[in-house]
Structure formats: C-alpha cells, structure tokens
Amino acid sequence: PAGDDVIGQINSSWAVRVYRDELVEFQVDGTHGSAVAGLNKCVAQQRAHTPKPVWNPDLPVTESFRDQWQEVPANADLDNGFKLQWEEFLRDVVAGREHRFGLLSAARGVQLAELGLQSNDERRTIDIPEITL
C-alpha cells in the first residue's frame, strides 16, 4: 500500500566469484513472491510456486531450483542505459542546457556509497540525511 516503508539491502563485492547470469542482478522479495531482474532478463517465482523440498543431508539435491523460476516476458527492447545517459548529457551540453543529473545528484550518489560503507562497518541501518547546497 502507498505510504508503507520499504527496506532495501544492497550487497556488492568485487572480491568473490560471481555465480550469476548477468553482470548485475537485483533480487526483490515480497509477500506474494520473488523476482530476480538483470540488465537483460527477469525471472519470477510466485509464492504459491515456491518449492518446499524435504532436505536430506545424506543425499545430493535432485531438484533444479533455478528451472522452477518463470521468465518474465520483456515488454520493450531496451538500449544500453549507460550509453543513453551519455547521449542525453552530450545533447544537453551541445544545447547549452543544464543536465538533469547535476552536482547535487552526484553528491547524493557519493553520500549513498559512503553511508553504505558506514552501515556495513557499524553493522546497523543508517538514515540518509538530505543534502543541500
């Protein structure tokens, strides 16, 4: 419902081997199911379709859990987002317009990264204060 708080958790590491299908993936878990979205595809599993295996530590797992996710059909062909933002920036420079992602936007990005590191170091959640010029 509108107005409810949302908790986000971002885990990132360049120090581990990646076992993912794409360069970056976002997992969203909700009360009605989960989704894993990457740059090129998204898969979902409804709560009703979540497997409930009986684990036996003496036997190898025989279920292919990844195969039980359903691919979400793409509703658009998307271009490279990094390229699109650079093209937008260059159009604004040529036209002499202020770009929509200015210094304050960059400062918020740096702030988020720094607070993420602080949150990890202190093992606690941290409120994100507003940045003003």
Looking at the structure of the chain, the number of domains it has is 2
Are residues 60 and 122 part of one domain? Answer: no
Are residues 86 and 62 part of one domain? Answer: no
Domain boundary among 75, 101, 118: 75
Are residues 32 and 93 part of one domain? Answer: no
Are residues 70 and 98 part of one domain? Answer: no
Which of 70, 75, 74, 73 is CA-nearest to residue 33? 70
Are residues 94 and 55 part of one domain? Answer: no
Which of 125, 130, 116 is CA-nearest to residue 5? 125
Are residues 86 and 71 part of one domain? Answer: no
Are residues 5 and 49 part of one domain? Answer: yes
| pLDDT tens track for 102-127 | 899 999 999 999 999 999 999 999 99
Domain boundary among 75, 106, 125: 75
Are residues 8 and 70 part of one domain? Answer: yes
Are residues 18 and 69 part of one domain? Answer: yes
Q: Confirm whether pTM is higher than 0.85.
A: no
Strand 25-30 relative to strand 42-46, pairing:
unpaired
Are residues 43 and 104 part of one domain? Answer: no
Are residues 110 and 45 part of one domain? Answer: no
Range of 132's domain? Answer: 79-133
| pLDDT tens track for 17-76 | 667 788 888 888 888 999 999 888 999 999 999 888 888 999 998 889 999 999 999 999
CB pairs under 8 A, 24+ apart, for 31-35? 35/72
Give the whole-angstrom CA distance, residue 96 versus residue 116.
35
